[in-house]
Chains A and B, each alone.
Chain A
C-alpha cells in the first residue's frame, strides 16, 4: 500500500517540478547574458501550446516514429520510481536497482535514436549517430561512478543509498564528494548541456539531442520535452539527495512530505542555478575532445575507489 502512495506522490511531484528547473536554467543563462529571459512558467506554457497543435509526420516515417514518444515517457517515469525525491518507501522487488535505473534511460535513448533515423533526414541521422557514440563512451563512466558510490555506501540499490545517507551525514565523507563531482559531469553529458551539446540551438552541425527530435511536432514533441525534463530532475536528485539528505522523510506523513517537497524544490533550483552558471562559463567543445571530459569523470570515480580501498 505504501508503495502505491509513493508512486503517486513521486511521479506527480517529478512531473510538476521538472519544467520549473528547465526554465530556471534558461532564466539563469539569460541573466548571465544580461537579458531578462523567459518567465519561470514558460516551459509549462510551451507544453500546453504543443499539446494543442496537430502532429506532422514525414512520408518516410514508419511505426517507430509514432510509438517512440510514448516509450520515452513511460520508461523515464518508471525510472523515476527508483529515485525517491520526497520519501523513501520500503524496498519493493529491487525497484531501486542502479543498473535497472540506468538501462531504463538507455531504452529511452535507443528509441529516440531510432526515431531520429526514421525520418530519413541527414540531421536526424547525424544526431542519432553522435548520440549513440557518446552515450556508448560515457556508459562505462556512469556505471563505474555508481559502482564507486555503491562501494562507498556498501549497497547497489538507490533506495538503500538514500536511506544510509539519511542516517549518517555524508557531506563530510570526501569519497562521496568525489563521486558527486563525477555525477555532476554525468548530469551535464546525459542532459546534453553546453560543453557536450547545445540544447537551445538548431544549428545543424552542433545539435545532437535536438537533431533527433527535429521531426517531431505537437503532442509528441511535448512528451519528448517532458521526458527530457524529468530525466534531468532525476539526475539532479541523485547527488542532491545523497549529499544533502535533510529534506527526505522515511514515513509518508503529510507534513513530512510537504516539507520534503519544498526542501527538494529549493535544493533542486540551487543545483539548476549552478548548472546555468556552469553552462554560461563554457563554450561547446569540439566533438572528438569529449572523451577527454569523460575520462575526467572516470578519474574521479577511480580516485574514490582508491580512496575507499586505502582507508
Chain B
C-alpha cells in the first residue's frame, strides 16, 4: 500500500511539472486549475502515506532509481521522517487548495503556469529531502529545493525589491550548501559511504568540526539569527502561498536535518547542546524584537518564523544537553516539545501567511498602517487570523501553548537535576524564553488589532471584500488542525506511547466550556438584554475619524524605547532655510531610523570586500601582451625555483 502511494507520488509530481512547463505559454485558466488540483491530489497521497508510516512505526525502505553503483536514490522513512513528511504534505494540501484561486490574482498566464509547475517540483524536493537515506540524494533534492524556491521568489520579477531579495536568498542557500557539503563529504571521507547511519570511531575534534559545519549549514537555511537576514526579504518578495510553503515547511526541512544528525548520526556532547540553546534563545529573542518594529505584514510574520525556529532550537538544544547527561525522560520531553512546536509552527505560520495573503490581496498593500476594520468586511479571514494569532501567542487552549509548555516544563524540571553552572544558564534561558513568548503575544495584539479592528485607515481597506471560499477553506484546514492538535494534545501523546507530565488540554477546554455556559446563562437571566449603538468616547470631540486611532508604530513605540540599545535607533532630521543665516525655516523632515545591525555590520561589509577584491583580480588581467608574458615569465621562474628546491 505504502510503496505504490510513494511511487505514484514520485511519478505524479514531475509529470505535473513537465506538463505545466511544456504548455506554459498557451494554457488558460481551466488547464491551470487541473494542474493545481493534481498537485492537491499528489499532496494528499503523500499525506496518507506519511500517516500510515507514522502509525505503523515500521521504517519504509525503497530504492526507486539507481544512477551508478555508488550513487543511488534510496529512501528510508522512519517515524521521525514520517512526522516531518506528514507536516509538509498537510501544509502543502492546504496551500495548494488556497492557491487554486490565489494564483489568479497576479502575473501573466505563462507566469502562473510556470509558478504552478515549479511549486510541484518544490514540494516534491522537500518531501524527498526528508525521505532520503543517503547524503547524495539528500544533497540532490536539497539543491533542487533551493533552486526551485529561488525561481518561486523570483515570480514577481519586475519589482526591483524582488530581484534584490531573490539574489540575497540564492547566495544564502548556496552558502548553506557549502557548509552542508563540507560536513557530508568529511563524513564520507571518514566512513567511506554516503548513507546516513551512526558515525563511530571519530575523534572528538573532527566530530565537532563536522557537526558545527552541518549545524551552520542547516541554521542558514532555517533562518537562525546571524544568518536570518534573507528570510524577511524572501518572504515579503514572494507570493503569499509560496511564503506560506517556505516559512511553514522549508525551514522545517532544515530542522529535520539538525534533528536527524543530532539524534542518529552523532551522540551529542553537552557543549553542542549549549551552542544550539544559545543560538536558539538569541534567535528567538531578537526575532520577536525585530518583528515588533516591522509594519510590513509579511515581514512581521517572517520575523516570527525566526522567533519560532529559535524556540524549536531551544527544545533541541535542551534535548542535546539532557542526552549528554543521560537524563533520558527529560531529553524525550524537550525533544517532543521541539518537534511538536515544529508541527504547530508549520500549522499556524502557514495559516497566518495564507490569511495575510488574502488581506494583502484584498487591500493591495502590505503596510499594516493602511489597514484597519477588516474584521467587519472580511469576517472569516479575520476569525482565521485570530485563531492563528492566538496559537502563535501560545495561549492555552491551542497547540502553540502546549509545545511551549513542554519546553517550559523541561526548563523547570532541569533545575533539580543539572550541575550548578548549567543551572544559571538554564535560568537565564528560561527568563529570555518567557520574555520572547510574552513579546510575541504583544506583537500579535498589535498585528491583529491594527489590521482587523476599529476603523479602516485607507480607502483600499474600506473597499476590501471577503476572498473566495477556496482560499478560506485552505486556511480553515490549518485552523482546525491548530485547534484539534491543541485540545487533544495529551491524548495524541498518550496514543503514541509517551505519557508526559503535561496538563490535559481537553479537560481545560471542557472546564472552559462549562464556565462559559454557566456565565452566559447567568448573564442572560440576571442582566439587562438591551444594547445600544453610539459612537466612541472622544473627550467630547464629535468628528470621529480613523486618524484618532492608535497606529502600529504608536502601539510598538513603548517597547521600542525600552529596547533602544537593541535597535540603536538614531534620530535623523534635515532642515532647509530661506536665508543663508539659517534663521527662516523653510521645510524639513525628521525620522527615527532603526539601525539594521546585521545588514550594515556583517553582510554588506563582506559583500563589499568580495566585490573590491574581485575587481582588483579582474583588473590584474585586463592588460596588454607584454604583461601577459611577464606573468608567465615570473610564474616559470617561481615554478623552476620551487621545483629546484622541492624535487
Interface 1/0s, chain B 435-451, versus A by CB < 8 A?
Answer: 10111011001101110
In Å, the complex CA distance between A58 and B373 comes to 13
Please judge, given known A-B contacts A54-B531, A223-B523, A287-B558, whether A139 and B434 are in contact too, CB under 8 Å. yes
CB neighbors of B among A35-64 (8 A)? 51-60, 62-64
User: Is A92 part of the binding interface, using a Cβ–Cβ cutoff of 8 Å?
Assistant: yes
B411 contact set on A, CB distance < 8 A: 147
B61 interfacial by beta-carbon distance below 8 Å: no
Q: Are A150 and B502 in contact (CB under 8 A)?
A: no
Which A residues are CB-close (under 8 A) to B408? 99, 143
**Contact for B539 among A93, A133, A204, CB less than 8 A:** A204
> How far apart are the CA atoms of A275 and B395 in the complex, in Å?
30
Let me know if B504 and A93 touch, CB within 8 A: yes
Does B618 count as interface, using CB distance less than 8 angstroms?
no
- Please state if B559 and A136 are interface contacts (CB–CB under 8 Å): yes
Q: Check if B503 sits within 8 Å of A95, measured CB to CB.
A: yes
- Selected contact of B537 from candidates A51, A143, A144, A214, CB within 8 Å: A214
B434 and A60: CB pair below 8 A? Answer: no
Question: Do residues B531 and A57 form an inter-chain contact, with CB atoms below 8 A?
Answer: yes
- In contact, B449 and A77 (Cβ under 8 angstroms): no
Interface residue A125 (Cβ < 8 Å from any Cβ of B): yes
Shortest beta-carbon distance from B427 to chain A in Å:
6
Within 8 A of A (CB), among B526-542: 526-528, 530-539
Contact (Cβ within 8 A) A140 B438: yes
Cα A298 to Cα B536 with chains together (Å): 39
A73 to B448, CA, bound (A): 22
Chain A positions 133 through 171: 1 when the CB is less than 8 Å from some CB of chain B, otherwise 0: 101110110111001001100101000000000000000
Rounded to whole angstroms, the CA-CA distance of A99 and B430 in the bound complex is 12
Measured between C-beta atoms, what is the minimum distance from B339 to chain A in Å?
19
Q: Which chain B residues border A278 with CB–CB below 8 Å? A: none
Asked if B431 contacts A93 (CB within 8 A), the reply is no
Residues on B with beta carbons closer than 8 Å to the beta carbon of A215: 536-537
**Which one of A111-119, A249-257, A262-270 is at the B interface?**
A111-119
Contact residue among A106, A133, A298 (Cβ-Cβ distance under 8 Å from B562): A133
Which range holds the interface residue count of chain A? 35 or more
Assess the A302–B427 pair: CB atoms within 8 A: yes
Q: Is A74 an interface residue (CB 8 A)?
A: yes
Contact B562 A150 (CB under 8 A): no
CB distance from A218 to the nearest CB of B (A): 6
Which residue of B is nearest A96, CB measured?
B503
A51-B562 contact, Cβ under 8 Å, with A57-B533, A114-B453: no
CB-CB under 8 A from B395, the residues of chain A are: 103, 106-107, 110
- Chain A residues whose C-beta falls within 8 Å of the C-beta of B439 in the assembled complex: 136
Contact mask for chain B residues 346-387; partner A; CB cutoff 8 A; 1 contact, 0 none: 000000000000000000000000000101100100110010
Q: Is B640 an interface position by the 8 A CB rule?
A: no
Contact A122-B453, Cβ < 8 Å, known A104-B396, A144-B430: no
Q: How would residues 383 to 416 of chain B score, 1 for a CB under 8 Å from any chain A CB and 0 otherwise?
A: 1001000100111100001000100110111011
| Cross-chain contact B431 with A143 (CB below 8 angstroms) | yes
Q: For B559, what are the chain A residues with a Cβ–Cβ distance below 8 Å?
A: 133, 136
Q: Are A78 and B508 in contact (CB under 8 A)?
A: yes
Bound CA–CA A159/B412 (angstroms): 16
A302 to B554, CA, bound (A): 34
**Residues in B whose Cβ lies below 8 Å from that of A73:** 515, 519
Chain B residues in 8 Å Cβ range of A100: 396, 405, 503, 508
Enumerate chain A residues within 8 angstroms of B535, measured Cβ to Cβ. 58-60
What is the bound-complex CA distance between A150 and B423, given in angstroms? Answer: 13
Q: Does A174 contact B (CB under 8 A)?
A: no
Residues of A within 8 A of B537 (CB): 58, 121, 123, 214-215
Query: Which residues 510-531 in B have Cβ within 8 Å of A in the complex?
Result: 511-512, 515-516, 519-520, 523, 526-528, 530-531
Partner of B519, one of A74, A130, A288: A74
Bound CA–CA A130/B445 (angstroms): 12
B550 engages A140 (CB within 8 Å): no
A74-B512, A120-B549, A291-B562 as given contacts; A129 in contact with B532, CB under 8 Å: no
Given contacts A125-B549, A150-B415, A288-B561, whether A106 and B438 have CB atoms under 8 Å apart is yes
A63 near B379: Cβ-Cβ < 8 Å:
yes
In the bound complex, CA of A220 to CA of B550 (Å)? 23
Q: Chain B's nearest CB lies how many Å from the CB of A159? A: 12
Nearest B residue to A227 via CB reads B519
A residues near B502, Cβ cutoff 8 Å: 94, 97
- With A54-B531, A70-B519 known as contacts, the answer to whether A120 contacts B455 (CB < 8 A) is yes
How many Å lie between the Cα of A136 and that of B523 in the bound state? Answer: 32
The answer, yes or no, to whether B52 is at the interface (CB within 8 Å) is: no
Cβ A144 vs Cβ B431 within 8 A: yes
Task: Tell me the chain A residues, 3-62 only, with Cβ under 8 Å from chain B.
Answer: 7, 51-60, 62
C-alpha spacing A121/B420, complex, angstroms: 51
- Measured between alpha carbons, how far is A56 from B532 in the docked complex, in Å? 5
Task: Report yes or no: B549 in contact with A58, Cβ–Cβ below 8 A.
Answer: no
On whether the beta carbons of A140 and B432 are closer than 8 Å, the reply is yes
B434 and A143 contacting across the interface, CB-CB below 8 Å:
yes
Contact for B503 among A64, A94, A118, CB less than 8 A:
A94
- Give A135 to B536 CA distance when docked, in angstroms: 26
Distance A77 CA – B514 CA, assembled complex (angstroms): 11
Within the assembled complex, what's the spacing in Å between the Cα atoms of A154 and B455? 51
- For B548, give the chain A residue with the smallest CB separation: A122
* Residues of chain A lying within 8 A (CB to CB) of residue B504: 93-94
In the complex the two chains form, is B548's CB within 8 Å of A51's CB? no
Q: A1: CB under 8 A from chain B?
A: no
Is A183 in the interface zone, CB < 8 Å from B? no
Report whether A144 and B434 are in contact in the complex, using a CB–CB cutoff of 8 Å. yes
B228-275 at interface with A (beta carbon < 8 Å): none
- A214 and B536 CA atoms in complex are apart in Å by 10
- Shortest CB-to-CB span from B307 to chain A, Å, is 13
Residue B507 at the chain A interface, CB threshold 8 Å:
yes
CB of A126 to closest CB in B, whole Å: 7
Report chain B residues within 8 Å CB of A156.
409, 412-413
Q: Which residues of B contact A219 (CB under 8 A)?
A: 523, 526-528
Contact assessment for A129 and B405 in the assembled complex, using a CB-CB cutoff below 8 Å = no
Any chain A CB within 8 A of the CB of B470? Answer: no
- Chain B residues contacting A103 (CB-CB under 8 Å) are 394-396, 401, 405
Q: A73-B515, A100-B396, A107-B390 given; name 10 further pairs at CB < 8 Å.
A: A7-B511, A70-B519, A94-B501, A117-B449, A117-B453, A132-B442, A144-B434, A147-B430, A150-B412, A218-B527
4 smallest A-B Cβ distances: which pairs?
A125-B550, A94-B503, A120-B454, A139-B438
What are 6 A-B pairs with beta-carbon distances under 8 A? Answer: A51-B526, A56-B531, A57-B533, A62-B373, A121-B537, A126-B554
